[in-house]
Structure 1
Amino acid sequence: MPVQDSYDAVIVGGGHNGLVAAAYLARAGRSVLVLERLGHTGGAAVSTRPFPGVDARLSRYSYLVSLLPRRIVRDLGLDFAVRKRTVSSYTPSERGGLLVGGGEERTRESFARLTGGEAEFASWRSFYALMRQVAERVFPTLTEPLPTRDALRARIGDEAAWRMLFEEPIGVAIEEYFADDLVRGVVLTDALIGTFADAHDPTLVQNRCFLYHVIGGGTGDWDVPVGGMGALTDALAKAAVSAGAEIVTSHEATRVDTDGKRAEVAFRSGTGEGTVAARHVLVNASPEALATLLGEASSPAHPAEGAQLKVNMLLRGLPRLRDRSVEAKEAFAGTFHVAEGYGQLAAAYGEAASGRLPSAPPSEIYCHSLTDPSILGPELAAQGYQTLTLFGLHTPARLFTGDNEATRAELLAATLAQLDTYLEEPLADCLALDANGAPCIEAKTPVDLERELRLPGGNIFHRPLSFPYADEPEAAGRWGVETAHANVLLCGAGAVRGGGVSGIPGHNAAMAVLGR
């Protein structure tokens, strides 16, 4: 139970954004209480041992880091590090694999083998040089007050980049820059991770997803968290508590009442119910959850719907590849793309939009333990065990609402079968066994994520991502976390500039409270 009756700030939800906010506010001398519904902090950014009797600590839901600003790590003195991946991606095909990484010349040769010339690699370099320029100019704004649309446009300072990212469907730019179907697909995947959309969706929801996937850290790099994602949230919880914040787990907030100046938060726990007063309430949950807490109706213009399959695996060793031009350790160290050609992605989207599971499910895979073996127990590491994380695309929640368990099993089987077409041996033969003799593999659908983490519709972003500028003139100069109530702020992924493991909404909500 909370040790006080009143706090400067009560934070609802102990996910990574709530912990960031708690640490900043406590370091500023504010009294802070974090109420967490689950028996542990971390939310979707946790590490667990999912397989009985097996000493492998996997990032169960979120798994890579790109959007976390280094300034948050420095400001809060976090004992947390990431490692670069030596390979960015590998994409197998009947024409041979496309390897991006291992040095510029290696990448150039891989493009030339696949496409028969230099043009596609030149286009790749040109396109991503432009994305790097955008990243360097946009990423620093994410921890500043919201700019206007015109101000962000001026800051980017390149009309071609602005048009392709903010005005036209990203499919237009991809088709202008690239001719090869496989290369086009590799580029498009960044617009579809966790987002159910076509390359030419007129709402530009895919553009917003693409933008957040290429601007992280000002480089667009996706790095491996040392010790797994739980290492980050453990460090954040430690920083918050060390600064004086109070964290209580197994305490679920049930209601927020406010007059705009003072608020009261009701909660329940295993020992009963209670209330606590606060000057500010920061809600690290979805906008729908916030509306429920406030007793307000929630009618989002675009209902949240997740569209991903998350699979965690432990292998006795990596499978051999049919493509002999690359070693398995290289291919799986980066993002291993499966059935993600441009045409394949369009076909999978069309099938899912019509209510059918994709016949060739697109997915991407990587091996955390190749870059960071610390997540494995010493015995497993010595025996050559490896983890695999698979993220499936174009699997919207609507496909699982009938029989989630049966549909999950069907999709998992089809996804692994698609991967097997590029392997010398079935992946199932490589899976480790847990203490009960069961294969070490688990899968999570959007329905599972909604049930376990209360993500609306299983949407990992809580709602469609927003462009990182003020939509309305009055929002310019604010932090993108404000609500209709002056002392109630949204500090979760559904805030403007939310989504992903970034800590940005938590930082921005704390800055709004502190008046910076």
Structure 2
Amino acid sequence: MKDFYDVVIVGGGHNGLVAATYLAQSGLSTLVLEQQAHTGGAAVSERVFPGVDARLSRYSYLVSLLPDKIVADLGLDLDLRSRAVASYTPVRRGGRDVGLLVERPEGPGTRDSFRTLTGSDTEYEAWTGFYGAVGSLAAAVAPTLLEPLQSAADIRSRVDRALWDELVERPLGEAIERRFTDDTVRGVVATDSVIGTFAGLHDESLIQNRCFLYHLIGNGTGEWRVPVGGMGSVTDALAAAARRAGAALVTNAEVTSVEVDGKRGSVTWLGGDGERSVDCSWVLSNVAPATLASLRGKGGVEKPEGSQLKINLLLRHLPALKSGDDPARAFAGTFHIDEDYSQLESAYRTAADGSLPAVPPSEVYCHSLTDPSILSPELVAAGYHTLTVFGVHFPARLFASDNDSARALATRRVLAGLESYLAEPLEDCIARDADGNLCIEAKTPYDIEQSVGMPGGHIFHGDLQWPWATSPEDAGRWGTETDAPNLLICGSGARRGGAVSGLGGHNAAMTILTT
């Protein structure tokens, strides 16, 4: 290892690897320091259950915002597959169980499903009108994500002014309530605004609007795709690309301090051979801003608060549904549980008051229906499947006094919500590991902080920001800059960070390469 590098990157998550590859391809000597024994951060695949040959995407699990251009630029060997179904929502109405199915691409079955649920075509027409308008905003924003920040006025000039007011100027709940009347349809629209974000639909901060936008602008379509081989395949492809480009990747390296003076930098870490330091021209931070502040010995950066409960399951077979719908179709997309609009708002108010929601909203994803390769051939032949459950409105504060007890109670309530729509007991479907235990793993924000170092368990490293310049001085910058000219944010804490996107890594690299 050299004593000096052009660039040192703190954190070997996917964004750090993206930045490293671009920089090393450009001839800059680049060092990546990762605290864990492997690169990838939260974008990893792991065998979660003892004695079971299933590699689950343990933390992050779907890919939306990763631009095709980054995949092509870095020569990534990736297979990102579309899901046949966008979403399915089981509903209990008038003593009967039905399901709201949204196809991908939408066809006659989607219209029929809306009509069965609501009794007319009105809500479906409102749905297509709304998402058609949202698509125009996504098409305007997506091409700018890999460019210097454009002004809000520039973006606004390319879209319908009324739509801009709905999604950017006013709380999202107003638009949803004005455009839709059915509680379930309203909820399906609203869920994209609260994934990983603790907010009500009428929050004046508009963080729910920002979260909604990020869920719908990836590659201009907002489609969430399944990485074949699990999220670890994304990390593996990025790490391979970084090494091919000549970047040095060091794992088991716990960074303890970062020093910068605007022209030079120094990074110190603890590794297997003790404490080491290296000097550099640039430091890129792929850790959360709160963590970076600590490494610099600075205060003033508030620790963020994550808000989710992540549950991984391995099933012996997909459960039958009370609606009678084919589970292989219902679980092929996003399976909404208790996410009516009124249920989302009620759960938010309960959590904000400091209590676990009695009927917690959540979403379920079945990776193995789209990509069975994460399971051994024997498990596939036997009909096994994975389920990932993402519970919303579970802020870290609810687990502060007794994480273990609160985790157990929250898990029971979320799984009970799923079971309420099943025609058979959920436990009868769940596989057991080599020790005879049910294959269930739950992670609270505190567990995520401990496992992968995200402060507060916040999956976005903090509140998402608008993906354009919100002040005149930011226009033309990359959204990665800090108070020190040679210290950049390259992770989810960058202005256009969040999710498995590579945007922070790309834009930090471009900040250097275009300087």
The two structures have a TM-score, normalised by structure 1, of 0.98
What is aligned with 2:8?
A: 10
Q: CA deviation at 1:335?
A: 0.5
SS of the aligned residue for 1:340 comes to: coil
SS of the aligned residue for 1:308 comes to: strand
Per-residue Cα deviation, 1:182-222 (whole angstroms, up to 9, x for no partner): 00000000000001111000000100000000111100111
What is aligned with 2:332?
A: 333
SS of the aligned residue for 1:222 comes to: coil
1:116 aligns with 2:116: no
1:27 aligns with 2:47: no
Per-residue Cα deviation, 1:436-495 (whole angstroms, up to 9, x for no partner): 111111000011111111212111011111001122211111100000111110111011
* CA distance in 2 between partners of 1:317 and 1:421 (Å): 17
What is aligned with 1:178?
A: 180
Q: Which moved more, 1:329-338 or 1:251-260?
A: 251-260
Q: CA deviation at 1:154?
A: 1.5
* CA distance in 2 between partners of 1:104 and 1:175 (Å): 25
Per-residue Cα deviation, 1:101-159 (whole angstroms, up to 9, x for no partner): 1641000000000000010000000001111111111011111001112112123x210
What is aligned with 1:497?
A: 496
Q: 2:101 aligns with which of 82, 99, 102?
A: 99
8 Å contact kept, 2:293–2:301: no
Paired letter, 1:43:
G
What is aligned with 2:485?
A: 486
1:36 aligns with 2:39: no
1:148 aligns with 2:151: yes
Paired letter, 1:418:
G
Alignment of 1:342-491 (within 5 A): 342-491=341-490
8 Å contact kept, 2:289–2:301: no
Paired letter, 1:258:
V
SS of the aligned residue for 1:437 comes to: coil
* CA distance in 2 between partners of 1:140 and 1:58 (Å): 32
What is aligned with 2:242?
A: 240
Gaps of 5+ in 1: none
What is aligned with 2:211?
A: 209
* CA distance in 2 between partners of 1:381 and 1:194 (Å): 31
Alignment of 1:161-172 (within 5 A): 161-172=163-174
Q: 1:269 aligns with which of 260, 268, 271?
A: 271
Paired letter, 2:160:
D
* CA distance in 1 between partners of 2:502 and 2:79 (Å): 15
Q: CA deviation at 1:286?
A: 0.6
What is aligned with 1:134?
A: 137
* CA distance in 2 between partners of 1:428 and 1:335 (Å): 21
SS of the aligned residue for 2:111 comes to: helix
Paired letter, 2:152:
R
Q: CA deviation at 1:288?
A: 0.8
Q: CA deviation at 1:299?
A: 3.3
What is aligned with 1:89?
A: 87
Paired letter, 2:381:
A
SS of the aligned residue for 1:221 comes to: coil
Gaps of 5+ in 2: none
* CA distance in 1 between partners of 2:69 and 2:322 (Å): 43
Q: CA deviation at 1:261?
A: 0.7
SS of the aligned residue for 2:307 comes to: coil
1:306 aligns with 2:306: yes
Q: Which moved more, 1:234-243 or 1:158-167?
A: 158-167
Per-residue Cα deviation, 1:226-285 (whole angstroms, up to 9, x for no partner): 110010010000000011000000011111112211111111112200110111000100
Q: CA deviation at 1:496?
A: 0.2
Alignment of 1:44-59 (within 5 A): 44-59=42-57
Identity of aligned residues (%): 59
Paired letter, 2:323:
D
Paired letter, 2:312:
N
* CA distance in 2 between partners of 1:299 and 1:416 (Å): 36
Paired letter, 1:268:
L
* CA distance in 1 between partners of 2:492 and 2:266 (Å): 23
* CA distance in 2 between partners of 1:298 and 1:219 (Å): 37
Paired letter, 2:108:
E
8 Å contact kept, 2:79–2:227: yes
SS of the aligned residue for 1:210 comes to: helix
Per-residue Cα deviation, 1:309-329 (whole angstroms, up to 9, x for no partner): 1111110000000001x2000
Give runs of ≥4 in structure 1 deviating > 2 Å.
Answer: none
* CA distance in 1 between partners of 2:218 and 2:178 (Å): 24
Q: CA deviation at 1:298?
A: 2.5
> What root-mean-square deviation, in Å, do the aligned CA atoms of Structure 1 and Structure 2 show?
0.9
* CA distance in 2 between partners of 1:9 and 1:352 (Å): 43
* CA distance in 1 between partners of 2:425 and 2:190 (Å): 28
SS of the aligned residue for 1:394 comes to: strand
* CA distance in 1 between partners of 2:489 and 2:239 (Å): 19
SS of the aligned residue for 2:36 comes to: coil
